[in-house]
Amino acid sequence: MITMDDIIREGRPTLRKVAEEVTFPLSDEDKKLGKEMMEFLENSQDPQKAEELQLRGGVGLAAPQVDVGKRITAVLVPSMDPDSDEPEFKDVLYNPKILSHSVQQACMGEGEGCLSVDRDVAGYVVRQARITLRYYNAEGEKKKIRLKNYPAVVVQHELDHLNGVLFYDHINEDNPFALNEGVLVIE
């Protein structure tokens, strides 16, 4: 089971490397890793388990964050509707790729954090507002989906991890809260 001890922090080289594509059919190892990464997210979003296991809440986790240089990421974005049990987006993505995106950009009004960054870095992380994503799921099925708003931000944060990019790389150093015209601020 993955815990915070398994999550490497900034300074570790794997976080700054471009991860390798996985091959199909998926090895048992790659399938097991995907399952464990999703289990981590589920545990981290369960108040009792998160407390027991001392987990930071997470809506995404990429393989490089557990020191595995492979293009695998788990995403679990809970529904914004507190009465709904259905997540807004949940899947383990193998070899994910953004095929196209909107001209419009977006950022989280509260900025971003990262399980591999043990400090607050303030500032807007400007990303694509809408994306068309292609990936393979654990069964090797090719998926092509469109995402917008928070799920789109989370997936772009995770895909950055597969390319050795951390969220604060996107923050404008001179003015962390500078925003161009038309950037959608997601609250």
Ligand X SMILES: O=C(O)C[C@@H](Cc1ccccc1)[C@H](O)SCc1ccccc1
| 91 sits near ligand X (criterion: CB under 6 A) | no
d(CA 95, CA 99): 12
| 113 sits near ligand X (criterion: CB under 6 A) | yes
Q: Which is nearer to ligand X, 23 or 55 (CB)?
A: 55
| 128 sits near ligand X (criterion: CB under 6 A) | no
Query: Which residue number places its CB atom closest to Ni ion?
Result: 114
107 annotated as belonging to a binding site for a ligand = no
Check if 52 is active-site: no
Residue among 19, 114, 162, 171 that touches Ni ion (CB under 5 A): 114
On whether the CB atoms of residues 40 and 53 are closer than 8 A, the answer is no
DSSP β-ladder status, 60-62 and 72-77 = antiparallel
Q: Which of ligand X, Ni ion, none does residue 158 bind (CB under 5 to 8 Å by kind)?
A: ligand X
114 annotated as belonging to a binding site for a ligand = yes
Residue among 68, 88, 112, 124 that touches ligand X (CB under 6 A): 112
Residue 59 amino acid letter: V
Minimum CB separation from ligand X for residue 93, in Å?
A: 13
Residues 136-175 that bind ligand X (CB under 6 A): 153-154, 157-158, 161
| 22 sits near ligand X (criterion: CB under 6 A) | no
User: Secondary structure of 129-167 in the HEC alphabet?
Assistant: CEEEEEEECCCCCEEEEEEEHHHHHHHHHHHHHHCCCCH
Annotated catalytic residue, options 21, 39, 158, 181: 158
Binding residue positions: 114, 157, 161
